[in-house]
Amino acid sequence: MSKPAGTAGEFFQKAVAVLRDDIGAVKDRDPAATSTLEIVLSYPGLHALWVHRVANYVHRRGVPLLPRLLSMLARAVTGIEIHQGATIGRGLFIDHGMGVVIGETCEIGENVTIFQGVTLGGTGKERGKRHPTVEDNVVIAAGAKVLGPITVGRDSRVGAGAVVIQDVPPNCTVVGVPGRVAVRSGERVSPIDLHHENLPDPVLDMFNGIERRLDRLENKDNT
């Protein structure tokens, strides 16, 4: 009898499609990327992600120890620690990546961008779901910490150095410590807009508003 066709071939095609999406994410979001060969050979974020995909595949099949060793190997080589249990969708781009930590129960959607020094971690010794869920098209800027079993909604951005410990609705920008949602005149945040140096500062905006009110009161008293 002939062996059922398509199973191994379909798996291979799916794996190749995922790898192409990962490479395409780098091409689309890193202006310094000059060629596919350069990306494949010299991008540690991509190397860490691909090792994770193998480690996660083995982990989900119950193989002991090997997934953890693969994770630690990727950490030693790239400086990026991704727990083998984390769930990561297509098109993740880890830019630079040194110091990135992604916890065991993290769930990351498609087309997410993470910069160096980002932590997707827990807040203690809880069991079960204890790490963030990051939905599609999210950008998390350098040094941000997203902690606990919270959700960062799709198309949102987390500013550099922000500490996020509460859910973030979709299409929002979060800045500050602790993280606060800042919306610029109701303008929708572009899912692939990487200019996180231009994020609004809600605390500064508040003080500017107070200053404007004081000026109006002083002008009213003078008249």
Cβ partners under 8 Å of residue 77, min gap 6: 44, 47, 48
Domain contains 103: no
Tell me what percent of the residues of the chain surpass a pLDDT of 90: 65
104 is a domain residue:
no
Do the domain assignments include residue 40?
Answer: no
Report the domain count for the chain. 1
Here the CATH number for the domain that contains residue 165 is 2.160.10.10
**29 located within any domain:** no
Residue 202 pLDDT greater than 70, yes or no:
no
On whether the pTM is more than 0.75, the answer is yes
Whether the CB-CB separation of 161 and 140 falls below 8 Å is answered with: no
Host domain of residue 131: 123-223
In a domain? residue 147: yes
* pLDDT (average), residues 38-47: 95
Which tens digits make up the pLDDT trace of 59-99?
A: 999 999 999 999 999 999 999 999 999 999 999 999 998 99
Q: How many helices (H) and strands (E) does the chain have?
A: 5, 15
**Is residue 198 assigned to a domain?**
yes
What is the helix (H) or strand (E) element at residue 182, kind and residue range? strand 180-182
Question: Residue 72: inside a domain, yes or no?
Answer: no
DSSP 80-113: -EE-TT-EE-TT-EESS-TT-EE-TT-EE-SS-E
- Residue 198, CB half-sphere, CA atoms under 13 Å: how many? 6
Q: Is 150 helix (H, G, I), strand (E, B) or coil?
A: coil
| Residue 69, in any domain of the structure | no
